[in-house]
Structure 1
Amino acid sequence: MSVMNAREYGAASELDPASLIWEDERHYRVHTRAYTDQAVFDAEMERIFARVWVFVGHDSEIPNPGDYKTAYIGTQPVIVTRADDGAVHVLVNRCVHRGAVIAREARGTVRDFTCPYHGWVFALDGKLLAVSERNDSGGYAPDFDVPEGLHRVPRVDSYRGLIFACLDPDAVDLDTYLGRAKKTIDRKFGRSPVGRIAVRGKPFVMRYQGNWKFQVENIVDAYHFLHTHKGFVALQAKYGETTGDYGAHKGGSAKAMRQVRFKGSSWALRHGHAQLENSGTANPDELLSGPHREYYEALRDIHGPDEFPFVVGRMSGTIFPNLGLIHQQIRTWRPIAPDVTEVTIYLYDLVDAPKEFNDGWMRSQERFYGPAGHGMADDVDIFARNQQGLAGSAVEWLLLERGLQTDEKLANGDTKGLPASEAPQRALWQAWKQLMAQR
């Protein structure tokens, strides 16, 4: 295969993304530069994050008029706000006067937004309400061309409380964009008897020294767990649920955990989404006779006997480019630089589920993902190791070929793979290649 020399990559406008992916019947490989090059990163912000639906929040974070939260669409800061009429708006977090960020707090409640630099005032929907000292000495001319207000992101929509925004007014509708990935959301939120979740408390925010796509790949990577998290696996084998597992990581020995984890299917979905789907990690009969019997019986009645095992089983997924759903958490990530990424983890309660059930899952999340937990520390160390390894130029390609010969491509464009296939990782790169080819 003819491949452009790594030194020949130039500005984002000159990139040939096809040359960064080596794909044929026997190979699926990604060039090092796709993770390390500044021009690639700049093109991703223009061709991916500025053109697709990006997760910006959950409606339980802004339940009332005047509530807002800050978020990012790629490197673009935005404000997600609920106006007086209850409508949700996503506003570019930048004053139209001199460019200052309007809101810095993660969440808050206001009557309006006032720029701290010169005091311009904006409504909850972004409309400009007042220009301070407009007619005072040195003020604006009578025919001053007054801006309408903060720039509104043109497309805002939601699915089951998850709020998405899109900078491209011509993008496909959100329902089409999500496709089969809605199953991940439906099953996760379907654990609530009323089908709703509520974000719980403040999120856990951390940064790692690595590319944003490492996190996308990892959250749906069934292959790494027993190796990357070897210390946790030993802890689980020794202490089991007495450490607060609450069913998140089933299995005693490493062998038993492997048997549990290597069940089910992996999915590479259109638009870059991915899923790990496994009904075998939960024993329905055991759950229906356990301490939360009535709760599980209600779920079985709601979803039916065929769907019930999937709802209570193991399922994780990604919504490309910046959202992950795993266990009882929402995880989102924002790219800062080719080698710097920020990850935010939101724990949530299942509305109308037993309190001790929600509390137990929170303890499990803290044990594995929290600041003193095992899992996140393992993962970010691997991401940093990856980035460190890619700093060299002696080896050009990364291999994503696991399961390539056994994946089943469906007529609708989705691909179903074996449980530890790298089909979910290839989903990311298929969408990446298509979007990056657009000018």
Structure 2
Amino acid sequence: MNNQPEARVRFTRQEEPRSAQILQRDERTFRVHTSAYTDERVFREEMDKVFAKTWVYVGHASEIPKAGDFKTSHIGLQPVVVSRGEDDTIHVFVNRCVHRGAVLTRDARGNATEFNCPYHGWVYGIDGRLIAVSERREPGGYSENFRQPEGLFRLPRVATYRGFIFASFNADAPGLEAFLGRARSVIDRKLNLAPGGEIVLRSRPFVVRYQGNWKFQAENIVDAYHFLHTHKGFVNLQARFGDTTGDFGVHKGGSVKEMRKLRFQGATWSCAHGHGMLENPSSHPETYLEGEFSSFYEGIRRTHGDEEFAWLVGKGAVSIFPNVGMIHQQIRTWRPIAPDVTEVTIYPYELKDAPDAYNEGMLRSQERFYGPAGHGAADDVDIFSRNQQGLLGSAVDWLILERGLDTDELVDGDWRGLPASEAPQRALWRAWARLMCEEQT
């Protein structure tokens, strides 16, 4: 049973929508106020108290493999550059000239020896250090007493876990592995499906914006409850044609009854630092040892053993608070732009040293469900915009996140839920409340 002693805080329409008043929580109640998704003041507070205070995913090491490689990313509303220095060190710095504020580069990825500001020509190294101030001694230039900045604002914390690059503006953020906690198991199992335990981001990402709050995507990637309803058209397609249309086994076909049975297996997790998880080991892992890729799977089974092999070929997904998730063979990020505008980027990845045909088949499955002509992404984007549209009304205050609340069990500091519990969604809100309300608690 769920016995966490959490106070219930009421929100009245006459009060300001302060973060401490947005959640109703006790052992039988878990509700979120509409303003958490719609209010501009709450959104701005999130940028300061969530995205500026915790670890945020900014890229993968395979995107910057060589010295001088860089990519652009965001931490909340802050544009940043992720670069690899000559000594192989990964740097993350704010993508803004310290002189008059211009963004230094708009390229998604590239290789450079320096960054030259297009406004007044100030020059920065690949690590963000200020190398030169243009026309410094010309008439009307800078005096001998000019206090020259050291360089671009460099984030005080940068760390990687198995190639996943995270950064934080908070010098006192906990260690990355401690922050990831149980969520590491999803990363580990997805990467351990590769013979050498590595993945590579090689394909161009798919980028889409939707008219809705960023938390809808963070909640949805680990929402086992919605699939048979939101994606009803795709479910009917699968029931009729199975994998013959190119699914490559990512979404198992069969009747709706069979799909329901498959999806309501395994467990959900609400992790201590805000991460939500779905996990479902394969009930018939031996079937993977047959067919075209039998030798590939047999090598994985020999390396990791029978029990772990069932997990590796099973279904797992994770939403790592606040901005990145993994599902199937993709890394997915979401970037808040406004309370009602979010940008989602989907990065299909390859398993390093896996058969080319396997990686190609998985890429085709991504296109089938998530790409611009896919079945799934359009459904989700439509739902997010419907959610935001519904929240514009003022007749109803609260959203209900209580599914499975009475059956969640505390295990080593994390809450374990039944297969279609909303435990993963509650994880986000518990972490959100700690960060947003820390000054009041």
Which TM bucket (shorter chain)?
A: over 0.9
Question: Which residue of the partner structure matches residue 342 of structure 1?
Answer: 343
- Deviation of the 1:26 alpha carbon: 1.5
Question: Which residue of the partner structure matches residue 306 of structure 1?
Answer: 307
Contact kept in structure 2, 1:6 and 1:33, CA below 8 Å: no
Question: Which residue of the partner structure matches residue 13 of structure 2?
Answer: 6
Whether 1:253 and 2:255 are equivalent positions in the alignment is yes
| Partner Cα distance (1:299, 1:7) in 2 | 59
1:198-250 alpha-carbon deviations (Å, 9 max, x no partner):
00221111100000000011000000000000000111111111111111111
1:275-318 alpha-carbon deviations (Å, 9 max, x no partner):
100013x6211111222111111111111111111111100001
Residue correspondence of structure 1 range 269-284 to structure 2 within 5 A: 269-280=271-282, 283-284=284-285
- Which segments of 5 or more consecutive residues in structure 2 lack a partner in the other structure? 1-7
- Deviation of the 1:7 alpha carbon: 4.2
Question: Which residue of the partner structure matches residue 28 of structure 1?
Answer: 30
Contact kept in structure 2, 1:56 and 1:72, CA below 8 Å: yes
| Partner Cα distance (1:419, 1:3) in 2 | 30
Which secondary structure does the structure 2 equivalent of 1:6 belong to? coil
Contact kept in structure 2, 1:37 and 1:338, CA below 8 Å: yes
Amino acid at match of 2:426: R
Amino acid at match of 1:320: F
- Deviation of the 1:2 alpha carbon: 6.0
Which secondary structure does the structure 1 equivalent of 2:235 belong to? helix
Contact kept in structure 2, 1:251 and 1:260, CA below 8 Å: no
Which secondary structure does the structure 1 equivalent of 2:47 belong to? helix
Contact kept in structure 2, 1:56 and 1:71, CA below 8 Å: yes
| Partner Cα distance (2:381, 2:420) in 1 | 21
Amino acid at match of 2:227: F
| Partner Cα distance (1:142, 1:252) in 2 | 76
Question: Which residue of the partner structure matches residue 177 of structure 1?
Answer: 179
Amino acid at match of 1:237: A
Contact kept in structure 1, 2:9 and 2:24, CA below 8 Å: no
Which secondary structure does the structure 2 equivalent of 1:366 belong to? helix
Question: Which residue of the partner structure matches residue 64 of structure 1?
Answer: 66
Amino acid at match of 2:360: D
Question: Which residue of the partner structure matches residue 263 of structure 1?
Answer: 265
Which secondary structure does the structure 2 equivalent of 1:195 belong to? coil
TM-score of the pair, normalised by structure 2:
0.97
- Deviation of the 1:409 alpha carbon: 1.2
- Deviation of the 1:251 alpha carbon: 3.1
Contact kept in structure 2, 1:288 and 1:296, CA below 8 Å: yes
Question: Which residue of the partner structure matches residue 422 of structure 2?
Answer: 422
Question: Which residue of the partner structure matches residue 243 of structure 1?
Answer: 245
Question: Which residue of the partner structure matches residue 88 of structure 1?
Answer: 90
Question: Which residue of the partner structure matches residue 54 of structure 1?
Answer: 56
* Identity within the alignment, %: 61
| Partner Cα distance (2:330, 2:189) in 1 | 13
Q: In 2 relative to 1, CA 28–2 (structure 1 residues): closer, same or farther, beyond 3 Å?
A: closer
Which secondary structure does the structure 1 equivalent of 2:273 belong to? helix
Question: Which residue of the partner structure matches residue 292 of structure 1?
Answer: 293
Runs of 4+ displaced beyond 6 Å: none
Q: In 2 relative to 1, CA 427–103 (structure 1 residues): closer, same or farther, beyond 3 Å?
A: same
| Partner Cα distance (2:159, 2:124) in 1 | 22
Amino acid at match of 1:387: Q
| Partner Cα distance (1:42, 1:151) in 2 | 21
- Deviation of the 1:38 alpha carbon: 0.6
Which secondary structure does the structure 2 equivalent of 1:8 belong to? coil
| Partner Cα distance (2:249, 2:315) in 1 | 10
| Partner Cα distance (2:16, 2:302) in 1 | 57
Residue correspondence of structure 1 range 310-389 to structure 2 within 5 A: 310-389=311-390
Which secondary structure does the structure 1 equivalent of 2:426 belong to? helix
Amino acid at match of 1:422: E
1:148-188 alpha-carbon deviations (Å, 9 max, x no partner):
00110110000000000010001101011000100010001
| Partner Cα distance (1:246, 1:303) in 2 | 23
- Deviation of the 1:413 alpha carbon: 1.6
Amino acid at match of 2:327: I
Alignment partner for residue 208 of structure 1, among 210, 215, 218?
210
Question: Which residue of the partner structure matches residue 392 of structure 2?
Answer: 391
Amino acid at match of 1:49: F
Question: Which residue of the partner structure matches residue 124 of structure 2?
Answer: 122
Question: Which residue of the partner structure matches residue 150 of structure 1?
Answer: 152
| Partner Cα distance (1:18, 1:204) in 2 | 36
Contact kept in structure 2, 1:53 and 1:166, CA below 8 Å: yes
- Deviation of the 1:136 alpha carbon: 0.5
1:396-438 alpha-carbon deviations (Å, 9 max, x no partner):
000001001111112x320111000000000000001111012
Amino acid at match of 1:217: E
| Partner Cα distance (2:13, 2:354) in 1 | 53
1:249-294 alpha-carbon deviations (Å, 9 max, x no partner):
11311111111111000000010001100013x6211111222111
Alignment partner for residue 76 of structure 1, among 35, 58, 78?
78
1:62-100 alpha-carbon deviations (Å, 9 max, x no partner):
000111000000000000001111110001000000000
Which secondary structure does the structure 2 equivalent of 1:42 belong to? helix
| Partner Cα distance (2:212, 2:44) in 1 | 16
| Partner Cα distance (1:102, 1:289) in 2 | 52
Contact kept in structure 2, 1:91 and 1:126, CA below 8 Å: yes
Amino acid at match of 1:75: L
Amino acid at match of 1:39: R
